[in-house]
Amino acid sequence: MTMSDFILYELPGCPYCAKVVNKLDELDVEYESRKVPRSHNERTEVKEISGQTGVPVIIDETHDIHGMPESDDIVEHLEANYA
Domain residue extents for the chain: 3-82
Contact (Cβ atoms closer than 8 angstroms) between residue 32 and residue 1 = no
| In the predicted structure, residue 2 carries a pLDDT above the cut 90 | no
Q: What is the mean pLDDT of residues 19-32?
A: 97
Q: Where are the beta strands (DSSP E) in the chain?
A: 6-10, 32-35, 57-60, 65-69
Contact (Cβ atoms closer than 8 angstroms) between residue 7 and residue 57 = no
Share of the chain above pLDDT 90, in %: 95
pLDDT band at 49 (very low <50, low <70, confident <90, very high): very high
Four-way CATH pick for 3-82: 3.40.50.1470, 3.40.50.920, 3.40.30.10, 2.60.40.650: 3.40.30.10
Q: What's the pTM?
A: 0.93
